[in-house]
Amino acid sequence: MTSEVIYNGDLRTTCTHLKSGSNFETDAPVDNNGKGERFSPTDLLATSLATCMVTVMGIKARTMNFDLNDIKVEVLKKMAAEPRRVSGIDLKFHIPGNLASIDDKTITILKNTGHTCPVAKSLHPDIEVNVDWGAWS
């Protein structure tokens, strides 16, 4: 097994990664009867895309003998009402100065790696994903 989820009541869960024992809590968003005090399940979906992209890009960069330390990704989740679902995810990459000037071929490789990460390939095609690559645009 990968993880365990315990429903704590009041629309909250505790999620535990079984191998490491690390955990976090979720909460329903304010617009869906929750308090919005933790990541919601749909927040995690959108955030998973960003973390997956930068992780596989980091793996690729490592094989190319450099690192992607300090890249930041802002995540905006968009919701649809009927049916209630994630309808879009906007990602805005902030590339640190030391990475802004890498060559175009390497940037293309990293972007392609990010766009083909496992989470990106698992999202329903109806979810519109927009990526602003910042300095790499």
- Per the CB < 8 A criterion, the answer to whether 102 and 64 are in contact is no
pLDDT tens column, 5-32: 999 999 999 999 999 999 999 999 999 9
In this prediction, residues 114-124 reach a mean pLDDT of: 98
Residue 110 sits in a domain of what CATH number? 3.30.300.20
Residues 68 and 101 in one domain: yes
Residues 102 and 127 in one domain: yes
Question: H helices within 30-103, ranges in order?
Answer: 41-63, 97-100
> Average per-residue pLDDT in the chain?
97
Residues 51 and 27 in one domain: no
pLDDT tens column, 51-106: 999 999 999 999 999 999 999 999 999 999 999 999 999 999 999 999 998 999 99
pLDDT of 58 reads 98
Mapped onto helix, strand or coil, the DSSP state of residue 97 is helix
Residues 75 and 102 in one domain: yes
pLDDT of 72 reads 98
Residues 11 and 54 in one domain: no
Confidence of residue 130 (pLDDT cuts 50, 70, 90): very high
Counting the structural domains of the chain, the total is: 2
In this prediction, residues 40-51 reach a mean pLDDT of: 98
Order of all β-strands in the sheet with 3-9: 3-9, 12-17, 23-27
Residues 14 and 78 in one domain: no
Confidence of residue 136 (pLDDT cuts 50, 70, 90): very high
Domain that holds residue 72: 41-136
Q: Is the pTM of this model over 0.85?
A: yes
Residues 45 and 9 in one domain: no
Q: How far is CA 129 from the centre of its chain?
A: 11
Residues 23 and 50 in one domain: no
Residues 13 and 65 in one domain: no
Residue 70 forms beta bridges with which residues? none
Residues 130 and 101 in one domain: yes
Residue 17 neighbours by CB under 8 Å, 6+ apart: 2, 3, 23
Residues 120 and 57 in one domain: yes
Report the candidate in 41, 53, 133 with the shortest Cα–Cα distance to residue 79.
Answer: 41
Residue 45 neighbours by CB under 8 Å, 6+ apart: 77, 86, 89
Q: What is the DSSP letter of 134?
A: G
Residues 16 and 55 in one domain: no
